[in-house]
Amino acid sequence: MIRSPLMTVMTDAVMKASRSLKRDFGEIENLQVSRKGPGDFVSAADRKAEKILRESLEKARPDYGFVMEEGGVVEGRDPSHRWHIDPLDGTTNFLHGLPHFALSVGLERDGQIVAGVIYDPAKDELFIAEKGKGAYLNNRRIRVAARNDLADAVIACGLPHIGKGDHGLFLRESSVVMGYAGGMRRWGAAALDLAYVACGRLDAYWERGLNSWDVAAGILMIREAGGFISDADGGSNPMATGSVACGNEVLHRELVKLLKKAKG
């Protein structure tokens, strides 16, 4: 288990915000919900959890900046450090009473993610990683799965929805991948997809149209668990391009190859 001061700050902030989400999840019918766009919801719970996260992290590290889903970019006095915060990844699941959502916090230092926390309140699962110190789930060291044959692999993906994403490209990609994969899944929470690859529950995962707060913590989680991650086209900076493809060394390589084949 990682017991650094930084990890204590991050986990304390996430656990504090999660208590608010748990209460609201128990009363989803009473939430005030507004639309940010077609099929893209934001709730009072989302904003409240982000406020708690920001205040907790600011108290511990007052000079750091923020990149937040709801609050946007806030420049800090320390330009080398930024928190990437998603207070409720899987908002649509949450609002439909589906117990698959998470809080995600990643710390960027000089352009590199150096620490990440992903917490699933419904299942009480805490995924943490710090650069060079490994990745853990509830105090247990985790590793990516060792399967090397796509026919044995379960591969997760993200589905574009109304008003978002390239539907035609996804149909081509999924058609190619399903011809080789043992199974495919779509869970609706990118941070947990990444965490599940890191702990070996999923063998590989790809998605496009993501933001830095969706993937910052998960990128480090994958790498510290011995996995490989790139953007969906094989590029080295998934946070910048807003897409991911990941798995162990072999399956990551094979997945990217299939995605390139689909793209033509």
The predicted-structure confidence for 66-101, as pLDDT tens digits, reads as follows 999 889 999 999 999 999 999 999 998 998 889 999
Q: Chain-wide mean pLDDT for the chain? A: 94
C-alpha dist (Å) from residue 109 to 70, 77, 114: 22, 13, 6
Q: Which ranges constitute the DSSP H helices of 132-200?
A: 167-178, 190-198
| pTM, full prediction | 0.95
Percent of the chain at pLDDT exceeding 70: 95
- Burial degree of 176 (CB within 10 A; 0-12, 13-18, 19+): middle
- Binding positions are 69, 86, 88-89, 214
- Binding positions for Mg(2+) are 69, 86, 88-89, 214
Cα separation, 73 vs 220, whole angstroms: 21
CA quadruple 105, 189, 223, 236: dihedral sign: negative
Give how far the C-alpha of residue 145 lies from the chain's centroid of Cα atoms, to the nearest Å. Answer: 18
Task: Read off the tokens for 133.
Answer: 């110190």
The predicted-structure confidence for 120-178, as pLDDT tens digits, reads as follows 999 999 999 999 999 999 999 999 999 999 999 999 999 998 888 999 999 999 999 99
CATH superfamily of the 5-141 domain: Fructose-1,6-Bisphosphatase, subunit A, domain 1 (3.30.540.10)
Cα separation, 58 vs 10, whole angstroms: 11
What's domain 150-263's architecture? Answer: 3-Layer(aba) Sandwich (3.40)
Residues of the chain with CATH 3.30.540.10: 5-141
The conformation of residue 227, written as its DSSP 8-state character, comes to -
Residues of the chain with CATH 3.40.190.80: 150-263
